[in-house]
Amino acid sequence: MKSPYKTLRLAPLLASLVLAACAPIPKLPTPAAALQGEQLGLAPQEQASLSSAWWQGYGDARLNALVEKALADAPSLALARARIARASAGIEAAEAADKPATGLGLDMQRQLYTETGLYPPPIAGSVRNTATLQAGISYDWDFFGRHQAALQAALGQRRAAQADAAAARLTLAAQVTRSYLALARVLAQRQLLAEQQALRAASLQLVRERAAAGLDTQLELRGAEAPVAELQRQGLALDEQAQALRHQLAALTVQPAQALAELRPALPTAQAWAQEPGIDLLGRRPDLQAARWRVEAATQDVTVARSQFYPNVTLTAFAGFSAIGFDRLLESRSLQAGFGPSLRLPIFDTGRLRAQLKGSAAEQDAAVAAYNAALLEAVRDASDQLNSLKSLQAQAQTQATLVANAEQQLQLAEQRQQAGLGNRLPVLAARQSLLAQQRQALDLRGLGLDAQVNLMRALGGGTTESN
């Protein structure tokens, strides 16, 4: 009887022979390094998280409904979901590679046997029916972590696809919100413009009366007519903008433009926001999350490519029936079975394997470079949006002073008219000035809301790994 200890003593030798049969792995350059937040002046800090439904902070039920409809029906999100499904299929394939493969086959044929082969007469030289019914199982033993790395790479690709979908949702929600708020601003501007037009019409009528009485010349009359035409032009431009914004909202929310013909939103109050963008919030941007997961997937792909240089051990077993003559196939004496390992040594395929490994390493460097570029763009984007928001808020405060000054001028003009020290023209002019300042304040308010939405988008809009 053969001693089991002798077999155990041979095991290290066999392992050494297997490792010696590995193809030589080329030395790769040091992988590219990802940028850290500290390098960009973004020290970690505790920051309040944003709501994933940040648009609800404006308290507008119609806006909420439009965003939800867009998120439910937009083709861009359907495309993102399809990409997630494709990545999930890749995970299933990677998981299947680490499980035993089973099969069942039936082979039946009519065969002429050679007279100079292995079979003696009477089989040799005769035509016979042969049949084989066989079940088999094989398992690719993952000694070197190839299957696990492939699974991790597939998981990284799916997480990247999920982050891409979150980025698409964030962009879509921001587009709907910006269009909605822009429509509210344009409609509010149109309302103030209508008041300006009424005042200009009254001023023109008064100048006409004064010209007819010889108190004003044709020069004053023509001067009073010009603003009326200019305001009419502005009204047409605002109407065109409102229609274009309704069309844009209809396209974003996948519905006919007629469904939004009566949509007349009001400008909401801006949400409070006083934080500087830090690495904690920027790291939640879905585009950065997608880039990080692609780096992880590419890193695992390098591991897969490196593992191809090691031997591949497959265990195979089969059992079934094989017979000459269909009627004998299921007889007990037709039973056959087998079991054994197979070893594949990649010693004659090193050129292709080296190319694959170098290509995977290059893809890893490319993924890191893409992440670094995305991080730099995220920092620039968030900083620009925060700077714009602060500037617009400061401008709005200054504009509020100008509005208050115009209100005081109107009060003084009205007091002079009531005291009989002037006619209606100074009052109408003061009202025109007030409306012009109010329109400017309205523009700044709308632009501030737009900048705030852009800041919400730039900070990831409440996206986390879980949503």
pLDDT tens track for 114-123: 888 888 888 8
Spatial distance between the Cα atoms of 349 and 308, rounded to a whole number of angstroms: 10
What does the pLDDT read at residue 210?
76
Q: What is the CATH number of the domain that holds 292?
A: 1.20.1600.10
Within a domain: 367: yes
221 and 146 in a common domain: yes
Within a domain: 22: no
Residue 411 vs residues 352, 407, 414, 441: alpha-carbon distances, Å: 87, 6, 5, 20
Kind and range of the H or E element at 80? helix 75-97
Q: What is the pLDDT of residues 171-213, one digit of tens each?
A: 999 999 999 999 999 999 999 999 988 888 887 777 787 777 7
432 and 336 in a common domain: no
Within a domain: 198: yes
Within a domain: 1: no
137 and 149 in a common domain: no
**Is 177 strand, coil or helix?**
helix
What does the pLDDT read at residue 120?
87
What does the pLDDT read at residue 219?
79
What does the pLDDT read at residue 206?
77
What does the pLDDT read at residue 19?
53
Partner residues linked to 131 by β-bridges:
108, 323
Adjacency order of strands within the sheet including 101-112: 101-112, 127-141, 312-324, 335-344
What does the pLDDT read at residue 2?
45
258 and 122 in a common domain: no
What does the pLDDT read at residue 3?
46
What does the pLDDT read at residue 200?
81
Q: Domain range holding 107? A: 102-141+311-345
DSSP state of 279: H
Please say which residue of 322, 345, 368 terminates a domain. 345
What does the pLDDT read at residue 10?
45
Within a domain: 8: no
- Global pTM? 0.82
Say how many domains are in the chain: 2
154 and 77 in a common domain: yes
Spatial distance between the Cα atoms of 104 and 301, rounded to a whole number of angstroms: 33
339 and 304 in a common domain: no
What does the pLDDT read at residue 228?
84
Low-confidence ranges of the chain (pLDDT < 50): 1-8, 10-11, 13-14
Within a domain: 353: yes
Please say which residue of 301, 322, 345 terminates a domain. 345
356 and 218 in a common domain: yes
Within a domain: 372: yes
**The residue type at 48:** A
359 and 298 in a common domain: yes
91 and 200 in a common domain: yes
Within a domain: 29: no
Spatial distance between the Cα atoms of 2 and 4, rounded to a whole number of angstroms: 6
Long-range contacts (CB closer than 8 Å, 24 or more residues apart) made by 221-230: 224/200, 227/200, 228/197, 228/200, 228/201, 228/204
Q: What is the CATH number of the domain that holds 109?
A: 2.20.200.10
439 and 301 in a common domain: yes
Please say which residue of 345, 364, 398 terminates a domain. 345
Partner residues linked to 46 by β-bridges:
none
420 and 453 in a common domain: yes
Region of 186 on the Ramachandran plot (φ > 0 left; ψ -120 to 50 alpha; else beta):
alpha
424 and 291 in a common domain: yes
